[in-house]
Structure 1
Amino acid sequence: MRLNDPLITEFSFKGETYSIDLSFDNVLDVFDVLYDEVLNPLEKAETALNLLIGCVPDSDVIDMWNLIYQEFIKIENETSIEYDLQGNPMPVQQEHEQLIDLSIDAESIYASFQQAYGVNLYKEQGKLHWHEFQSLLNGLPDETIMKRIIQIRAWKPKNTDSPDYKANMEKLQRKYSLAREEVE
């Protein structure tokens, strides 16, 4: 994201210009499609394109989808999920541990946007651009619930931590684990 560039609302592909809806809620719908285990990669690309540009080109569907994903959607920060081109979550490397999930953390993200910015994400559906959403999410202040959850997930015990503090943090890590759906 560059502040001296306008937000993306259209792009060119093989000599044609297409309008693109990169509102954050639309992109989240695209991620839902990418997680769908029933659709094959071509069906995922076609559905995603239909959501984003309102049509599916006659040819080069995968090439267009790859361009859109790489240039406009892919999340580039270390606290977010990275996806392969078929929409599957990439394995999390230890040094870039996954600390946030846009689906699991939806309520906390909503509450944090309200708390930090006074932004009601439901009222911003169809308006707030994906790049704006990412920037606001990445810039959440430490006192928001989402930032606190990220800090809990990232916590590693130190020799100087008291046993009570360690026990409390481990309890909180279990509570806010991204794998908690499997545990419950």
Structure 2
Amino acid sequence: MLSLTGTPLSAIKFDDKIYHVNLAFDTVIKYLELAESDEPDQEEKAIHLFFGDQELPLDPDFFESSFKLINETITKAPYQSNSSMNFGMQVAPQQLYSYKQDADAIYASFLMQYHIDLLKERGKMHWCVFRALFDGLKEDTPIQRIIDLRQKNLSEIPDEQRSKIAQLQQYYALKVNKSKAEQDALSNNALSAAFNSLFKAAKKGGK
């Protein structure tokens, strides 16, 4: 969530040292895609996404606290409570749109309304800025039209339009990779265990 008085998260302090965090919108989208995938070593790949090649402390507390802060930054919304959400590789469900599947529509919407070329903003535009602009997209933008279409109740559509709307809903239907139950399985405890394993492996490699 964007703040008009504070600076968006870009660094984390741990044991009096500062570590840069890459929260560009494209990095976060890669993280969300990783969280929904079946790729092995998700935690290690997530660490590299956000921290790059920095030398990080061999302390599970660093990773646990860092990812808690990162996920709070990613998922916090101004008009809803996130108090029940866990952190880790778990993310807010996206039931009406997909950053991957709807990439064309999102790109066209930003270009149409803000005259912003998102391809030129990769690695630069902070996630919080991206989300604020995304939430401000008007109803006539491509992505908002698709979202509206997906929400339409066919029983409320006039008979002469129902077949066409149904076909459009089928065409624009989201491809769901993981169930909510599977996403919930990536819990706080699972993440802590994973980082403990990383910590032990790093210590062994350093001997």
TM-score band (shorter)? 0.7 to 0.9
Distance 2:68 2:22 in 1: 15
Distance 1:166 1:57 in 2: 58
Q: Indicate the residue corresponding to 1:175 in structure 2.
A: 171
- What TM-score does the superposition give when structure 2 sets the normalisation length? 0.70
Give the C-alpha shift of residue 172 in structure 1. 1.2
Give the C-alpha shift of residue 7 in structure 1. 1.9
RMSD after superposition: 2.7
Distance 2:24 2:114 in 1: 18
Distance 1:19 1:119 in 2: 26
Distance 1:179 1:48 in 2: 23
- Secondary structure of 1:6's aligned partner: coil
1:127 matches 2:91: no
Q: Indicate the residue corresponding to 1:52 in structure 2.
A: 50
Distance 1:89 1:170 in 2: 30
Contact 2:72 2:87 survives alignment (8 Å)? no
In structure 2, relative to structure 1, the CA distance for the partners of 1:126 and 1:119 (3 Å cut) is same
Q: How does 1:55-134 map to 2 (within 5 A)?
A: 55=54, 56-60=56-60, 62-74=63-75, 76=77, 85=87, 87=89, 98-134=95-131
Q: Indicate the residue corresponding to 1:146 in structure 2.
A: 143
- What TM-score does the superposition give when structure 1 sets the normalisation length? 0.77
Give the C-alpha shift of residue 17 in structure 1. 2.5
Distance 1:84 1:153 in 2: 27
Matched-pair identity in %: 26
Give the C-alpha shift of residue 3 in structure 1. 1.2
Contact 2:22 2:50 survives alignment (8 Å)? yes
- Secondary structure of 2:23's aligned partner: coil
Q: Radius of gyration: which is bigger?
A: 2
- Determine which structure has greater relative contact order: mean sequence separation of CA pairs < 8 Å that are 6+ residues apart, divided by chain length: 2
Q: Where does the alignment leave 5 or more consecutive residues of structure 1 unmatched?
A: none
Q: Where does the alignment leave 5 or more consecutive residues of structure 2 unmatched?
A: 80-84, 178-207
Deviations 1:33-63 (A, max 9, x none): 3233131xxx322221222122454121651
Q: Indicate the residue corresponding to 1:3 in structure 2.
A: 4
In structure 2, relative to structure 1, the CA distance for the partners of 1:37 and 1:75 (3 Å cut) is farther
Distance 1:174 1:132 in 2: 32
In structure 2, relative to structure 1, the CA distance for the partners of 1:114 and 1:175 (3 Å cut) is same
Distance 2:124 2:148 in 1: 30
Contact 1:19 1:53 survives alignment (8 Å)? yes
Q: How does 1:20-35 map to 2 (within 5 A)?
A: 20-35=21-36
In structure 2, relative to structure 1, the CA distance for the partners of 1:77 and 1:172 (3 Å cut) is farther
Distance 1:111 1:13 in 2: 40
